[in-house]
């Protein structure tokens, strides 16, 4: 059996894991690196869409593997065009550093992801310009308990884990040469930490040859907790006389639920961005996602903030990209959005009544809301992980806060396990070897586990 890591080596994110057994190959995750290519590309200086994969291959942004990509995208490149040479690609969760490049895959290669991940990615595709699912003739969804047999050499069992996006998974991969366990991104302090415990229990039973484990926070002993975020922010909100503005990731529904709880506790209403509303509206039927349903059913207290878009008059056509394809928001599925509409001006008139979740790129809405002195901005996202905001953005955000009477306060719990939690996980599963991924400190694993293999990008690890 052979393992090659094409991303997530010495960096946080960009995971691409190739596993070969009996002459067949599968790939786990197909993400975009946050750092690779940053010395050449910036903001609107990007690889050209019209050049297919030419720029991506030139700068080594994707692995140069024949039989992996859509032949249409290879026209200008030197990469051999061929039939698929991979038995399947498996996506662990809906963060871009694990799935951004699935649009490049050969349409005939079977692509697997969790049902929740698929729902989230469909919404992201319709609400953003940067992500596309792409064309896949064999796209299938799994749940915990699924067993996916691929080719003659692979049986893959996805097992749920807790992370900062709903529907995250790790994988247990069975081959004739033994088992490989892959963690995806994992934490133990969220509301669903029992899912991660489940994963560990299932993984230790197979006595894996290799554990490919994320180590985002292997250098940090800080034990995070969602309850701490709740308590810290609740205190701050209680002390605030006027408007409360919050920055959270649109896909982090656990954090959104934390702010929903705070809003109820303080008797405030919650205003959420249109994009977030689309995400929770698409997940509200999911029987495993009570949080989304809980927030969405509270029509008295949860409103949808419509930013002032193109026409300036909040017309349907302004928001079409945010709504399910081909359906205006007058369609029955999305009428709920309009019914719950609120604007910055309306929020501004009753500042003491709201907690307002506001996206960085819509900070201009503050001009109309006019926060009064004694208002608060709660920054509740990580500064370096998952869709990072950079230093310049952070400075700009602080400038907006200063200009609009918003006290700036940070409270966040990571989507990743800390050092002690990772040590417990490794020692419970006790694999023959540990292969660190998604970390800039791989050597730190040696502090608590002796058999670590340090991967090099694209180099085979033979097991």
Buried/exposed 407-420: b ≥16 CB within 10 Å, e otherwise: bebebbbbbbbbbe
Output 97 or 226, the one with its CB closest to Zn ion.
Answer: 97
Output 97 or 281, the one with its CB closest to Zn ion.
Answer: 97
Listed ranges 94-102, 112-120, 254-262, 277-285: which one lies at the site for Zn ion (CB under 5 A): 94-102
Q: How many CA atoms lie within 13 A of 407 on its CB side?
A: 14
Listed ranges 7-15, 173-181, 201-209, 361-369: which one lies at the site for Zn ion (CB under 5 A): 7-15
For 273, the token pair is 């961005």
Of 5, 7, 9, 13, the residue at the interface with Zn ion (CB under 5 A) is 13
User: For residues 434 and 188, what is the distance between their CA atoms, to the nearest angstrom?
Assistant: 19
Rounded to the nearest whole angstrom, what is the least distance from the CB of residue 29 to Zn ion in the complex? 9
Rounded to the nearest whole angstrom, what is the least distance from the CB of residue 251 to Zn ion in the complex? 9
CA nearest to 46, candidates 38, 72, 121:
38
Residue with the two structure tokens 């990072």: 388
- Consecutive H or E run containing 444: none
Output 13 or 273, the one with its CB closest to Zn ion.
Answer: 13
Listed ranges 10-18, 53-61, 247-255, 342-350: which one lies at the site for Zn ion (CB under 5 A): 10-18
Rounded to the nearest whole angstrom, what is the least distance from the CB of residue 95 to Zn ion in the complex? 4
Residues with Cβ within 8 Å of 178's Cβ and at least 6 positions away in sequence, in order, are 1, 208, 209, 463
Percent helix, strand, coil in the chain, to 5, is: 35, 20, 45
Binding mask 173-202 for Zn ion (x = CB under 5 A): ------------x-----------------
Output 14 or 371, the one with its CB closest to Zn ion.
Answer: 14
Under the binding rule (CB under 5 A), the answer on residue 97 touching Zn ion is: yes
Rounded to the nearest whole angstrom, what is the least distance from the CB of residue 106 to Zn ion in the complex? 24
Which residues, listed in sequence order, are joined to residue 154 by a DSSP beta bridge? 150
Of 36, 95, 118, 217, the residue at the interface with Zn ion (CB under 5 A) is 95
Output 95 or 269, the one with its CB closest to Zn ion.
Answer: 95
Output 13 or 247, the one with its CB closest to Zn ion.
Answer: 13
Residue 56 in contact with residue 47, Cβ under 8 Å?
yes
Size of the site for Zn ion (CB under 5 A): 4
Q: How many CA atoms lie within 13 A of 45 on its CB side?
A: 6
E strand intervals along 274-404: 302-305, 341-342, 354-357, 375-379
Listed ranges 81-89, 96-104, 234-242, 253-261: which one lies at the site for Zn ion (CB under 5 A): 96-104
Output 323 or 434, the one with its CB closest to Zn ion.
Answer: 434
Residue 21 in contact with residue 176, Cβ under 8 Å?
yes
Output 385 or 429, the one with its CB closest to Zn ion.
Answer: 385
User: For residues 120 and 304, what is the distance between their CA atoms, to the nearest angstrom?
Assistant: 18
Rounded to the nearest whole angstrom, what is the least distance from the CB of residue 94 to Zn ion in the complex? 8
Q: Which residues lie near Zn ion (CB under 5 A)?
A: 13, 95, 97, 185
């Amino acid at each position: 059996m052979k393992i090659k890591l094409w991303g997530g080596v010495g960096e946080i994110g960009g995971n691409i894991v190739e596993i070969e057994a009996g002459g067949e190959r599968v790939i786990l995750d197909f993400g975009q690196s946050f750092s690779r290519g940053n010395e050449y590309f910036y903001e609107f200086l990007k690889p050209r869409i019209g050049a297919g994969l030419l720029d991506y291959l030139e700068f080594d942004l994707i692995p140069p593997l024949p039989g992996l990509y859509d032949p249409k995208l290879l026209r200008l490149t030197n990469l051999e065009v061929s039939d698929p040479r991979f038995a399947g690609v498996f996506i662990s969760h809906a963060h871009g550093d694990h799935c951004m490049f699935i649009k490049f895959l050969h349409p005939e290669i079977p692509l697997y992801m969790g049902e929740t991940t698929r729902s989230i990615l469909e919404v992201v595709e319709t609400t953003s310009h940067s992500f596309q699912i792409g064309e896949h003739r064999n796209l299938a969804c799994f749940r915990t308990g699924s067993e996916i047999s691929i080719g003659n050499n692979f049986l893959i069992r996805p097992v749920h884990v807790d992370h900062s996006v709903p529907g995250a998974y790790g994988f247990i991969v069975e081959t004739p040469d033994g088992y490989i366990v892959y963690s995806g991104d994992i934490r133990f302090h969220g509301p669903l930490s029992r899912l991660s415990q489940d994963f560990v229990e299932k993984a230790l039973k197979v006595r894996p040859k290799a554990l490919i484990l994320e180590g985002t926070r292997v250098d940090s002993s800080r034990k995070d907790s969602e309850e701490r975020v709740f308590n810290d922010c609740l205190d701050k909100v209680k002390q605030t006389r006027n408007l409360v503005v919050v920055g959270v990731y649109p896909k982090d529904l656990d954090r959104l639920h934390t702010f929903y709880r705070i809003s109820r506790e303080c008797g405030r209403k919650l205003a959420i961005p249109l994009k977030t509303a689309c995400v929770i509206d698409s997940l509200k039927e999911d029987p495993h996602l009570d949080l989304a349903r809980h927030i969405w059913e509270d029509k008295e207290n949860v409103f949808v903030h419509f930013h002032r878009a193109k026409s300036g008059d909040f017309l349907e056509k302004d928001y079409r990209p945010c709504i399910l394809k081909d359906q205006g928001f007058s369609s029955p599925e999305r009428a709920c959005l309009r019914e719950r509409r609120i604007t910055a001006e309306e929020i501004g008139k009753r500042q003491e009544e709201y907690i307002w979740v506001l996206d960085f790129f819509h900070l201009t809405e503050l001009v109309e809301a006019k926060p009064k002195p004694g208002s608060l901005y709660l920054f509740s996202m990580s500064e370096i992980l998952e869709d990072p905001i950079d230093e310049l953005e952070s400075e700009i955000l602080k400038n907006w806060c200063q200009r609009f009477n918003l006290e700036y306060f940070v409270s966040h719990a990571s989507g990743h396990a800390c050092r002690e939690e990772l040590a417990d996980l490794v020692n419970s599963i006790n694999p023959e070897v540990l292969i660190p991924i998604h970390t800039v400190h791989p050597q730190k694993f040696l502090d608590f586990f002796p058999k670590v293999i340090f991967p090099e990008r694209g180099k085979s690890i033979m097991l």
